[in-house]
Structure 1
Amino acid sequence: MKFNIRGENLKVTESIREYVEKKIGKLEKYFDSVQTSEVYVNLSVYNNKQRIEVTIPMTSLLLRAEEEHTDLYAAIDLVLDKLERQIRKYKTKVNRKPRQNGMPKYIGGNLAEIPEVLDEVEEMEIVKTKRFDLKPMDPEEAVLQMDLLGHAFYVFQNAVSGETNVVYRRKDGKYGLIEPNN
């Protein structure tokens, strides 16, 4: 893995660089072949909060995680846990399909060492389907509806474009709008 480590409002010291490379480098144990992909790490400090964002683009998978903590080293450890969960979930999904068809197929390394993986797959099962009519409205009205319902997102028909849109609440408390790309 090749590391591209950047700092915002923070000088990336050699000890921080070594810690990030050591921790994120542990992800290689989950793969049979050595990954030659770039690892993009963005470290930042805002209002006494240390933030780390890690992006690892690979051929069939994009791993991305971010974490915020008062201690930078703790944030690095937490983001590593998130990335490991993503890898385990992906590998379980890939390995599960051939086994369902009766073929003993195995993809990746060291998956047998992780017994909780099968429990995580069960959590991905869709247990409820909901249907509803889309009411034409503007995004501001959709945000109000979402807040009234106490949901984190709201699907609606944009009154101006006629397209299906989604408004959602972001982690910073502000709102986002998802529109189709035509």
Structure 2
Amino acid sequence: MEIVVVGRHVEVPDRFRRHVEDKLSKVTQLAPRAQRVDVELTHERNPRQSDVSERVELTVKGKGPVIRAEARADDAYAALDVATSKLMERLRRARDRRKDHHKGLSSVKSEAPPVLAEDVLPEPAPAVDDAQRDSAATPAPGEAVESWWGDSPVVIREKLHQAHPMTLDDALYEMEMVGHDFFLFIDAETALPSVAYRRRGWSYGVIRLDAPVAAPVDAL
């Protein structure tokens, strides 16, 4: 399994890279199909956020759903510890879900399981350096582009993902696996662009656009 460590606005020390490899050595025990783990270390320059100035984002990619976790702290090692704990818990849940699914295939059930068979989540965009960011105008699939909003200091990060139609159950599961509070997807039953989002506790909401997705038409 390949481990790729990158830094945004920060140099990644060799000692930290070695520590990352030690912390993530058990990933393959829970996710034997994992092929790569992307580790992104980001330093927040705003002094008002010094207590959460270091952010670590972990993304596991392989033959299965993309699983992600992140954490913030005043120290990169502390952020890595918290992010790794979250990641391992999500990997365990994904492993247990696979086991439940395989058991379900061997017997006929009267009711559908809470979640359906896993779909592959479109991979998050890899980190890009400042030169790539400045030269790119529109993101290609699987890339991220950052730009400034006019003359303001507001930075817009834009990503483009390939959409795979899925059910609401699949979308909620994928949202939990990547640790987001919302998830944008194409509903497999209605073909409508939809957003699932977290409310209070275990309550969720769904917003759909009344505009079915149409296949692109080639220009004549």
TM-score by length of 1: 0.53
Residue number in structure 2 paired with 1:54: 58
Aligned counterpart in structure 1 of residue 40 of structure 2, from 42, 48, 51: 42
CA distance 1:36–1:64, shift in 2 (3 Å): closer
Residue number in structure 2 paired with 1:30: 30
Please give the alpha-carbon distance, in whole angstroms, between the structure 1 residues aligned to 2:98 and 2:208. 29
What is the identity, as a one-letter code, of the residue corresponding to 2:66?
A: L
CA distance 1:165–1:2, shift in 2 (3 Å): closer
Q: Is residue 63 of structure 1 aligned with residue 67 of structure 2?
A: yes
The alignment covers a number of residue pairs equal to: 119
Residue number in structure 1 paired with 2:5: 5
Listed one character per residue, the Cα deviations across residues 51-93 of structure 1 (whole Å, up to 9, x for unaligned) are: 0111111111211111111111111011111111111111111
> How far has the Cα of 1:100 moved from its partner?
5.5
> How far has the Cα of 1:38 moved from its partner?
2.1
Please give the alpha-carbon distance, in whole angstroms, between the structure 2 residues aligned to 1:41 and 1:57. 11
Structure with more helix by fraction: 1
> How far has the Cα of 1:98 moved from its partner?
4.2
CA distance 1:74–1:97, shift in 2 (3 Å): same
Residue number in structure 2 paired with 1:87: 91
Is the radius of gyration larger for structure 1 or structure 2? 1
Contact 2:10 2:43 in 1 (8 A): yes
> How far has the Cα of 1:96 moved from its partner?
2.0
Residue number in structure 2 paired with 1:77: 81
CA distance 1:178–1:39, shift in 2 (3 Å): farther
Instruction: State the percentage of identical aligned residues.
Output: 25
Please give the alpha-carbon distance, in whole angstroms, between the structure 2 residues aligned to 1:167 and 1:98. 26
